[in-house]
Structures are given as C-alpha cells and as structure tokens.
Structure 1
C-alpha cells in the first residue's frame, strides 16, 4: 500500500501542469476540486471562510470540496460549531476533510468537522480526537477520551481513506476517485497499470487552492491565544511606559494599536476576567515601585500576579510555554530594567530644575540602608544615605545631593550643620591650629 501511495503522490505534480496546459491550449474545461486550508483554532473568521467555500463550490459545480485541516480545537460557540458541522455534512457538493500534512492534528471541535464530513482521511503521524460531544450520531469512547492515529481511526470507521492514500494532498484527491457521496460517484483520477508495480495515478481534475484574504488572515492570527497574549503584554508595558514619559510619543501610539488588536483577540477567545485582573494588578505593582526607584513589596506582587494571570488568562485553550515564558520574562525585564532607566534619563535632564532642593529637610518614609524612600516637599523620592548608619522610618533627613531621580541624604542629627559647609572651602584655622 505504501508503494501505491507513493505512486499516487507522484501524480500531484501533474495536476498543476495539466491545469496550465488546458488553459493555455484553450481546450475543454476540466473538472476541478476546491481546496481550502484551515489552520489554528476554529473561530468566526474560519467558520465564515468554510461556509463561503461550501457555497462557492455548490454554485461553481466543483467535483468536490477538500478541506485541509490542522487545528488544535475550536473557540466557536456551541451553536456556531453545530451550524458549521451541519453545513459541511449536508452540503450539495461532496466535502472531504484531509487532516494533513504529516504532524497535523484535529482536536476538540475541529475533530467534529472530520466526523461530520462524508469523506475523511489522515496523513501519517497525525492525531484526531478529544471530541467534546456528539453532533451527528454516537462518538466512539476512544475519540472522546483521547486521540487516535490514522490506522486506529480507519479501523473504527471514523475515516474512509487509509494513511497511504492520504499521505499528501495529491494522493488524497486521487484516492477520492470512485467514492460515493449521496448517490454520486466522484471522478478525480485515472489509473494506469504498471507491470510489476502499483498502478500509476494521474489526476483528471484541477485543484483550486483558496486561502484567507489579508484582513481575515490578520484577524484570525490576532485571535490565536499566543498572539493575543503577547499583544496584550506589549500594550500594557508600552502604555505604562508612556505614563512615565513627557508628551504622547511612539510608545503610546504603538501601545494603543497593540491594545486594539489584543482587545479583538480577547473578545473572540474564552478569556478569564480573573486572568485579566491579575495581569492589570501585576503591571500596577511594577509601576508603584518604579516611582520609588527601589524594587520592594509591590515588585514581588507584580511578578506573582503577572505570572499567575498569564497561566489562567484563557479558559480551555493554551498559550504555549514559549510565548508564556517570553511574555512574563519580557514584562519583568522591561519593568525592572528598561522603565527605571528611562525614568532616570528623563529626570536627570537639567531642565527639571531640582538643584534648589539641596539643603532641604525631609522625612524618611522607608528605611534607607543605604537605599530607601524619603518625603521632601510633600513628594516621595528614592533616596540613598551617604553614611554607613541606616536611616530609620520617620527620621529627619537633609538633602545633600541629587543623582538623576535619586536624592542623596544624610540624617539631620550627626550630619553637617550646613550643606554648604560640606561643599565649600575649609574653614580658616583657629588660633590653636595657627603657626607661630
């Protein structure tokens, strides 16, 4: 059978050549099959695409409609999935679903489309299963509780074509020849006997490939869990970044664009409000400590909240470990390294005009050992003491220097009596120090 499959696969290359020759020679129009490629989670964009493909195939008189399927599941509402499966199962044109190429899968709601189609086949090393509930008739327990490979699915009668016949798309189309659907026999290939070998197949139909247009493809991509999550993460970081910069800049505009795209994806996907709230809490925690300039309690809250929120953001669909790690690590690095550096750069410009604060008195609101937070002029500032002795909460301090957004302070008691004295010339020698 494998040799026969290879012979059928060889015919794939002849289909496009035959189509071009027929068109250039102006000969009689050949029969054709429409082929649509479906990948990713089934959403409204793909549902409309498949429904339109069925209708177009019916109107144009296609020999069959072939759906190339590779999907981890469905995010459609129950009624929408049922309507799509019914449309495929009761179309006026034969519909065949090919789970391919090798390594593809049809799980969850996507597996329901395979069961609904009159004809189906699976390429080698593909998986089918985890059917949530029956739509047409009973579903074998093996498909409800787990997944099946091509051989097991054929044995259970879930698919009609074996894995050799479904090895590649051309083989699958050729293997449709002779299959009966609603009393009609499909004609897609001719077979020529070869002495000492399997029959040679040549497609007698043209394959018309259809894909999503640019805008629907963009919306479908945005509605995938990893992309929606990464867009949301980028939007949150860029919007917070914009709050700490002067005016409206590129970060704000890009962040707003990411937020709009992420909002569409979150609206399509089964999004958890708890997950969204945790992500917002995480970013808020980071922003609190960015203002103080010292990672403390709220930074820990931000890390934990953002990591947990990322894990529970979607219900029933997974983000994937690589996007998850990239999102959490990227946000943490930006909040702990990138944003504080930007804040220091902004407030270190000479136009801020804070040199007059030198000599001002304030109060420590967080212990400085040596870094802490002080209140000066009714505002909180990150501070660092220039002495080995820590400054306790509530202790009076004097500003003796400024380094970017950081104030250099010393305790009022035990410090220089006058900040100018520390930076001025040495006092004149007393009589005890003067020479004879």
Structure 2
C-alpha cells in the first residue's frame, strides 16, 4: 500500500456538503434539526456505552467497522474516504467495510477516487458483505474487490460487477474470474472456491477474529473453547442528517416523494387551506427532485410524470374524470416503469405509486374538494327544484350543468335524457344530484 499526503477534509468536500444541504427544503431542514437535538443525547449515551463495553487493554489495536448501506452516492463516497482518513489519524488496526449495496450512482471517476483512497490507505481496509440477504453489486462489488481481504456472509450475494472501472486496483485473482462475475452473482461458497475469499465468515465477528492484528483470547470456561475478541471495535454509520438525505434519495423514496409532493400541492391549490398540505407537499417535492438529480433518472420519464399530474389537475378542477384522466394515467404508468436507467423499482412501490395516485386524483380529491366547497358555500338545499342542463346523454348517471358548474347526477326514471335537455333537480344524495326530465316530472312545491 502507498501513502499519499492529503487533507482528510479538503475544502471541496465541505463545499459539496454545503451544496447538498442547500438543495433540501427549509421544512425538511427544520425537521431534521429538531430530530437531531432530540436524538443527540441518546446517541452520545450509546457511543459511551459501546466504548465501555468494548474497551479492554490499552495495548490492543482498535478496528473500525464502517456500515455502507444502499447505493454509493456522493454522501457514501465522502463517508468512506473520511472514515479511512480518520482511522489513519487514530492509528487504527484496520477498517472493515460492512457492505450492502446494489451499485453506485456517482460517476466512474468519483468511484475511482474512492478505490484510490482504499489502495493508498496506511491502515489495511477489509470488506464483509453482510448480513444474510445483503449483496454487493455493480461499483460496490468492485470496491469490495479492491480491499485487502473480502468475505461474504451466509445468504449474501457478490458480483454483477458490470464493466470494470478500475482494474488497476483489483487483484489478479479477481481479474481471472471477472468475466464470470460481470453479469451474475455468486454465494459465499463460490466466493471461496474462486479464491476471492480465504475462509467462510457467516458473521462479522467470525470475519474479524482472523484479521491480521486483531487480538483475541480463548475462553475455556464452557464445554467448548470459544475465542473472545480483545481488540476494541468502533462501529460507524452515516451521520444523522447525511443518513436521512441518503435514505430519502433512494429510488423508491424519490419516486414516491415526488408523486406525493405534487399531489399535495394540487390539493392545496384547489382547497385554499391554511398551507400545511402545501408546505409538506413542497418539502416532499423538493426532496424527490433531489433524489432524481442524484439517481440515474431519465428526463423524459420525469416529464411524463409532470404531464400526468398536470392532466389529473385539469380533471380535478372539472370534478369528473374525462380524457385528461386517461392521458394522465397512461403517462403515469409509462413514466413510472421507465423512470430509472439501469435500476428497477419494486412492484410493490410501483403499485402503491400508480394505483394510489390514480385513485386519489380521480376519485378522492374531487370528492374532498366538492365536499369542502359545495355544502357550506353554495347552500345545496336551495338547488332542489332548480333547472339544470344535461351535458351528455344520461341513462342512469351522468353530468349536468348547474349555472355553468358541472355536477354528477342520477336519474331514477326509465326515460333517457339527451345532451342539452333541461332537467329538474328533485333531491341531493351525497355528491349526486337526483334529477328528472323537465317534461313529465314532479312540479316544484314552490311553484304551486
């Protein structure tokens, strides 16, 4: 390993973090800061307890375990580099990357910089893919292969590396099997058989016990001897705010927050409320846009989602689903299915997004808006006996115009009503007007 003198926290990283925080909405920032103040004492107490539990003799080396969750974005890339620099400054015995990542969303050049930091680290850097069910794929798998030693937990997967980004930092053994791992993943046994790992490591502790320099003793007090770790272990996760931003920028969260934010903004626009829905919607929309900016989202798919929400908004104003609702639904489905390049959203997330937005915009929101403004401001009881005009042929249900405003209506008579016919409102049932033809209908009692 080679050492390169570098500032652990260069100004460019501080500017990157500043720009990242500026992209968040003020509402989200206030919420994060309030939670930070509430959780900070608990985290401090947990860190203190962990230090008391893991501290042993001063002469034993300390090892750092760095949790790498989700896609490797700029936040995670900075976190890895900063953690390695901090371990070097503290004289750590080694850094263990606990990886559960399906790939990277930073540029290949930025990922190469992270691999360079791993290769140039003074302290050894190891990687453990776990726990069970975890995986290291894409650029994350290549970072794992660039460490001094790797292992895969039982039930975890490794591979699907894609085209190699930095072969100069990968071992000869990995390069020999790179073709087999380019488009597929392998389990823990195959990793050992291919020579990428030297041993089975079902848990993180099993992996760390055999690392060079990791101190342990044998406890013979039980029925069988057990190795007990003596080296201190420091566990590190993303800081609170960075962790929130990283989690909210995941593919599923960015997609759902974008749709929810747009729907709440439309709801606020038509209901003219006190602004709570608008503020929450604006925050969700901004965070969703930030996620799309970080993730490999297709611009034309985002445009389809915008058209979908615009189409729904038109028919929300009309009060009934028409051609724009069909256009919006088609755009919503197409934009959702092809939103990301190189990654897919789970079917559960797609169903929640598509069905939830479609039902709320076609049925739920018009009903809420009609209920809010219809009963208290129009005084609907005085509509009984008024004349209306059918805007379409009505056999059982349809739309009528009352003073230029469209209303849903039902007719209980067998006589069909044609578009343009005058009808009389005889009752109101919920959001529906009960109507009858002008000719042959009952007379209004006020006219008698």
**Is the structural similarity TM-score above 0.5?**
yes
Cα deviation for residue 273 of structure 1 reads 2.1
Contact 1:99 1:126 in 2 (8 A): yes
Which one of the candidate residues 407, 411, 417 is aligned to 1:391?
417
C-alpha displacement at 1:293, in angstroms?
3.8
Which residue does 1:433 correspond to in 2?
none
8 A Cα contact 1:398 1:409, kept in partner: yes
Bigger shift: residues 227-236 or 242-251: 242-251
Bigger Rg, structure 1 or 2: 1
The worse-fitting range, judged by mean Cα deviation, of 382-391 and 80-89 is: 382-391
Q: 1:242 to 1:402 in 2, by over 3 A?
A: farther
Instruction: Give CA-to-partner distance per residue, 1:196-245, whole Å, 9 cap, x none.
Output: x9975343421111111110010011011111122122112212222331
Cα deviation, residue 102, structure 1: 1.9
| 1:338 paired residue number | 364
The Cα offsets for residues 103-139 of structure 1, whole Å up to 9 and x where unpaired, read as 2110111101111112111111211111122212536
Could you tell me how far apart the structure 1 residues matched to 2:372 and 2:233 are? Answer: 60
Matched, 1:143 2:168: no
The structure where helix makes up a greater share of residues is 2
8 A contact 2:265–2:281 mirrored in 1? yes
Q: 2:68 aligns with which of 18, 30, 38?
A: 38
Task: Work out the CA distance in 1 between the residues paired with 2:365 and 2:334.
Answer: 22
Measure the CA separation in 2 of the matches of 1:334 and 1:309: 18
| 1:17-53: CA deviation from partner (whole Å, max 9, x where unpaired) | 9963785x8x635310111111111111111110100
Higher mean Cα deviation, 290-299 or 52-61? 290-299
Contact 1:359–1:398 (CA under 8 A) maintained in structure 2: no
Q: Which of 204, 210, 223 is the equivalent residue of 1:169? A: 204
Distance 1:193 1:339, change over 3 A: closer
Q: Provide closer, same or farther for how the CA distance between residues 246 and 407 of structure 1 changes in structure 2, counting only shifts above 3 A.
A: farther
Alignment of 1:96-245 (within 5 A): 96-134=126-164, 135-137=166-168, 138=175, 140-159=178-197, 161-163=198-200, 166-177=201-212, 187-190=213-216, 192=218, 200-245=226-271
Q: 1: CA distance between counterparts of 2:186 and 2:242?
A: 31
Residue 423 of structure 1 and its aligned partner are, at CA, apart by 2.3
Q: Which runs of 5+ in 1 are unaligned?
A: 1-15, 178-186, 427-436
Offset at 1:167? 1.8
**8 Å CA contact retained: 2:65, 2:96:** yes
Alpha-carbon distance between aligned partners in 1 of 2:102 and 2:264, rounded to the nearest angstrom: 31
CA contact (8 A) 1:363 1:376 kept: yes
Structure 2: which 5+ residue stretches go unaligned? 1-47, 169-174
- What count of residue pairs does the alignment treat as equivalent? 391
Change (3 A) 1:198 1:90: farther
Whether contact under 8 Å (2:64, 2:94) holds in the other structure is yes
CA-to-partner distance for each residue in 1:167-212, whole Å, 9 max, x for gaps? Answer: 21111111112xxxxxxxxx11346598xx9975343421111111
Give me the whole-angstrom Cα distance separating, in 2, the residues matched to 1:105 and 1:155.
Answer: 18
Q: Secondary structure at the match of 1:28?
A: coil
Q: CA deviation at 1:375?
A: 4.2
Q: Partners of 1:402 and 1:332 in 2: how far apart?
A: 30
Where do 1:16-31 residues align within 5 Å?
20=52, 28-31=58-61
* Aligned-pair CA distance for 1:64: 0.5
Could you tell me whether the CA contact under 8 Å between 1:294 and 1:372 is conserved in 2?
no
* CA distance in structure 2 between the aligned counterparts of 1:73 and 1:264, rounded to whole angstroms: 19
**For the residues of structure 1 that align with 2:180 and 2:253, how far apart are their CA atoms?**
32
Partner of 2:106: 76
Whether the 8 Å contact between 1:33 and 1:205 is mirrored in structure 2 is yes
Quote the residue 2:20 is aligned against: none
| Aligned position for 1:261 | 287
**Would the alpha carbon gap of residues 296 and 342 (structure 1) be closer, same or farther in structure 2, given more than 3 Å must change?**
same
State the distance in 1 between where 2:414 and 2:280 align: 45
Aligned to 1:145, what secondary structure does the other structure show? coil
| Deviation readout 1:257-306 (Å, 9 max, x if unpaired) | 21122122111111122322232333334334434444444433333332
